[in-house]
Chains A and B, each alone.
Chain A
């Protein structure tokens, strides 16, 4: 049996009386796309933030390749091979697309950014950044400032930044949120390409995307995992239908 890259053990987090993560057990295998679905406010983003280290859980453990990382800081997790994208687009508006990605390739090249080298003269980092932009289809926009990019392009850029870190696991929090159907198709193609490089924990509302990409699906409702299995199994699951899909067919 292959060891999961990521395992959550009885992860629990509450804000005051509101339990946002309730005893969550979950794992992601190498090279698997594990989709996490659930209604608004189910606690998906909060869970991602706990895996990434931005939010500390109250109880439970996060294991990385069997090693406990529950309380180590974000930057150390990134060194181990975790990367994330954000539900609300998060790029550096004043930098060009290339510089946004170059910051990622420079970071993965050394844990201590040099103060005396000229960043733009680091050809390895620059070439790797350019390759990442090509892979997400943004090569032609590399010299445009991120704030001048269209919304859909910024979503692509965000994936390029995650990719540039050469992670073993990407946490993608609604990578398609807010894009039109054209962009959505192009992003799905990018994700299909990314899954060749690493495992993905994918939070996504668009069920077409989930069923097209996921190897496994887990359903989070009010902080609890209520179902987990292959996409077909989950779709058939009665508890899921009742608790999440509701009586009427949402999708």
Chain B
């Protein structure tokens, strides 16, 4: 049987038609490209409150993409990413309290704080797998929540406001439009990093771990260490998103650390599709859109959340982004 078929030439050796590849590339990324274009044009098209919603959607979307990343690469379902989101936000608050105002300094600090916390929490949590891993990440995040909400100097259970949005390279970010573009630029950087890592030997090994961890061990991979690497990268990105959330709200409270945030990030990631690089962004924006639309009619907009998620999981299976991608005639990314 096997020997009768035509030999298939390696992808790498196939002569590549550059034009065809570019057209193919654009088609298969059409959904992503359209969304990014929409976000880039939003400040010129929409009223400021809608632009604000989109900025917020990008911030949560960044975190949700980080949550989806470790499901896709590493098979880790974290129910504790609120910890890294909140720690990123509190880093901004603390930095401002000690007199810093430069985002180019403060945001990297926020990223490092979240990464350090995830290194400690991740190395303990990764002694377990599956449901235990979900519960232990939740447990650690709740510990962070209770510790920080009991610190009076950080506003206790009420939280504290920021004096003003930090500057970036000396340039003010007070203008919502400028802030929107900074968030968009950072989001694109995050996508570049995640995409690159996803196609690297590390990313391949992590995708392999999701499918069959025992096999990856038998190939000589130290699977726990690779998963920890992915976990820390994911938490670092979530920390950046948290710092941006602090800048967006100009207010930091334990609400950002609450397990509901962890749950929402997971919902956004699965709704958008964990198989897709930008799935979390689609999920976040759709949820926010639902919130805006439904809250016109009722303050109980969260009631609609359940049905939306159920329908999405039942009918879209892989999530929104892959479904849109298919509608637009492209392949999967």
Contacts and interface: CB of A to CB of B under 8 A. Distances in A.
Give the interface centre of B3, B5, B217, B226 by most chain A CB atoms within 10 Å: B217
Nearest to B5: A140
Contacts of B211: 92-95
Interface stretch (B20-28, B115-123, B154-162, B194-202): B194-202
Nearest to B200: A115
Nearest to B199: A118
A128 interface: no
Contact of A153 (B2, B6, B200, B223): B2
Interface residues of B, number: 35
B199 A119 contact: yes
Give the interface centre of B5, B203, B221, B226 by most chain A CB atoms within 10 Å: B221
Contacts of A102: 204
B142 interface: no
Interface stretch (B7-15, B87-95, B169-177, B261-269): B7-15
Contacts of A153: 2
Contacts, number: 121
B199 A140 contact: no
B192 to A, nearest CB: 11
Given A115-B197, A123-B12, A103 B205 contact: yes
A115 B7 contact: no
Nearest to A126: B12
Given A94-B207, A123-B12, A139 B201 contact: no
B221 A107 contact: yes
A87 interface: no
Interface residues of A, number: 51
A143 B212 contact: no
B216 A103 contact: yes
B330 interface: no
Give the interface centre of B216, B220, B223 by most chain A CB atoms within 10 Å: B220
Interface in A91-108: 91-95, 98-99, 102-104, 106-108
A119 to B, nearest CB: 5
A118 B203 CA distance: 9
A140 B10 CA distance: 10
Interface in A16-70: 52, 54
Contacts of B223: 75
B303 interface: no
Interface SS majority for chain B: helix
B12 A90 contact: no
Contacts of A165: 219-220
A90 B2 contact: no
A92 B200 contact: no
B302 interface: no
Contact of A75 (B6, B203, B217): B217
Interface string A210-228: 0000000000000000000
A137 interface: yes
Nearest to B204: A119
Nearest to A113: B201
Contact of A161 (B12, B205, B219): B219
Contacts of B7: 139-140
A113 B216 contact: no
A63 B217 CA distance: 20
Given A92-B215, A126-B10, A115 B203 contact: yes
B220 A137 contact: no
Contacts of B222: 73, 75, 111
A116 interface: yes
Given A119-B204, A141-B2, A143-B11, A92 B218 contact: no
B200 to A, nearest CB: 5
A78 B220 contact: yes
A83 interface: yes
10 smallest beta-carbon distances between A and B, as pairs:
A78-B220, A113-B201, A113-B202, A115-B202, A107-B220, A106-B201, A75-B222, A92-B211, A119-B201, A74-B217
19 contacts: A73-B222, A75-B217, A86-B218, A90-B214, A90-B218, A98-B10, A103-B216, A107-B205, A113-B202, A113-B221, A115-B202, A117-B201, A118-B199, A119-B204, A120-B12, A141-B8, A143-B8, A153-B2, A165-B220
Given A93-B211, A111-B220, A113-B204, 17 more contacts: A54-B217, A83-B218, A86-B215, A92-B212, A106-B201, A111-B222, A113-B226, A114-B200, A114-B202, A115-B196, A116-B197, A117-B201, A118-B199, A120-B12, A137-B2, A138-B2, A161-B219
